[in-house]
Amino acid sequence: MSSLPPGAEKIDHIGIAVKDLDAAEKTYTQLLGVPPYKRETVASQQVVTSFFKIGESKIELLSPTAPESPIAKFLEKKGEGIHHLAFGVKDIVASLAKLKAQGFRLIHETPIQGADQKLIAFVHPKDTTGALIELCEPLQQGL
Ligand code: ZN
């Protein structure tokens, strides 16, 4: 179960940017056969999120709460679709330090409080072949 620290342990979730959270929740409830288990606003990111759990993995729907939200900008540029891929890590501070030492540009040099009781940080997509990568570490183990 344990891997070499500070590596990624699993795909924790996939983030999908949506314009209409109510409509997207209905779509994903039909698609996955389960309703979302929580809806949460993340003030620091100006988003409202909705989470679905499928086995070990989650789907995070993200919708902007303000025009200057990063998700609003993403929707403007690219439209709805996959926004980021999140890897679960055990020690996010150590993981960020390792990535930085390897030359990855970090959007967050230190982790911030994200949705779903997690510390999160993003790695710049220019250094990850275009995919926005999030690292996340649960604030409480066992979620
Ligand atoms: Zn996420």
The residue extents of the domains of the chain are 8-138
Q: Name, in order, each residue with C-beta under 8 angstroms of 78's C-beta and a sequence gap of 6 or more.
A: 17
The residue ranges of DSSP E strands in the chain, in sequence order, are: 8-17, 38-42, 47-54, 57-64, 81-89, 112-114, 118-123, 133-138
pLDDT digits (tens, 9 = 90+) for 50-109: 999 999 899 999 999 999 999 999 999 999 999 999 999 999 999 999 999 999 999 999
User: Any idea what DSSP says for residue 106?
Assistant: B
As given in the structure block, the two tokens for residue 73 are 């900008």
Dist. CA 1 → ligand 1 center (Å):
23
Cα(63)–Cα(15) distance, integer angstroms: 10
Dist. CA 125 → ligand 1 center (Å):
14
Cα(142)–Cα(108) distance, integer angstroms: 25
Dist. CA 55 → ligand 1 center (Å):
17
Residue 116 has pLDDT above 90, yes or no: no
| Topology, domain 8-138 | 2,3-Dihydroxybiphenyl 1,2-Dioxygenase; domain 1 (3.10.180)
